[in-house]
Amino acid sequence: MNGALEEMTVKDRLRFQKAFSRLDGPLKTQLASVKSVLDLALVSLALAHDKANIEELNVQEMSDSLEYAGVSLTPLQLAKALAKAGGNVKRRKVEGKVQFTLMTKGRLRIEPLLGVGNLDVFFIDGSKPRTARKRLSDVLAGVSGTVRVCDPWYGVRSLESLEMIPKDCKVRFLSGRTNEDPQRLAGPMKDFKAERPKTELRTVPNAAGLHDRYVLTRDFLLLVGHGFKDLGSRQSFIITIPDFVAPDLLHQVETSFEAKWASAVPI
């Protein structure tokens, strides 16, 4: 990236970069599939407003913001698309550069891309385990902060799933029991703990009260119909519930998780 963001204050620039870098995995995956350059320009304006409280961007700043989110578009591509934006945006020239602000018409156009009010549901075909794990990896790659994972059963493949989460995240993995040979598990578990010191693994005595399989982040609740250990071995679903859709639900899940975590013992 170049110095285009120098026009913002240092505080604004850091907030801007953080907001786009930390977009959740499902949204980054959604943006990567969008073919319309104009729609991506409008999305960058919407997210700058919603996530960083920045009202307007020029095309270089849009290009930078999308790059932070994992999408590559040049300022020239964005300028050509915005030339046909009509009433979707408002324009004003500041020191020789055109600044763009998103209008209501433009927001209505791209709301479906932002997943407003929608759940993300992915069907897992039992005959395509690699596809299922790739989907889970795409979702988990964009998470940040504290990540809580609950799965009644654990094993070597559970560790592989946990490795999909960025290393700088604080991860709490809560489980109940394993049906794998303890001697076979010992080596991989030791190696995992050495390389992932921010990940804690605990079990609840007698697996009390553990029935659901989920990942909880500050942005969404991910429900997995089948266990992380055997993901893709049978038909199931991965359902993503964004925080803005059901904030009370996410809070309740976190409270329940923490209550069980407090009485769990390290693996």
**Chain mean position to CA 21:** 10
**For residues 189 and 181, is the Cβ–Cβ distance under 8 A?**
no
The residues of the chain scoring below 50 in pLDDT are: 1-6
Query: If we measure between CA atoms, which residue out of 42, 43, 51 comes closest to residue 17?
Result: 51
Question: For 114-162, what is each residue's pLDDT tens digit?
Answer: 765 556 677 776 677 777 788 788 888 878 889 999 998 899 989 999 9
Phi first, then psi: what are they for 177, rounded to 5°?
Answer: -160, 170
Question: For 238-266, what is each residue's pLDDT tens digit?
Answer: 888 877 677 788 999 999 999 999 999 99
CATH T-level assignment (fold) for domain 120-266: Endonuclease; Chain A (3.30.870)
Q: 105 CB contacts (<8 Å, ≥6 apart)?
A: 87, 88
Q: Is domain 3-114 given the CATH code 3.50.50.60 in the classification?
A: no
For the chain, the structural domain boundaries read 3-114, 120-266
Range 242-247 contact pairs with CB under 8 angstroms and sequence separation of 24 or more: 242/24, 242/26, 242/115, 242/119, 243/218, 243/219, 244/116, 245/117, 245/118, 245/119, 246/221
Query: If we measure between CA atoms, which residue out of 157, 200, 202, 156 comes closest to residue 176?
Result: 202
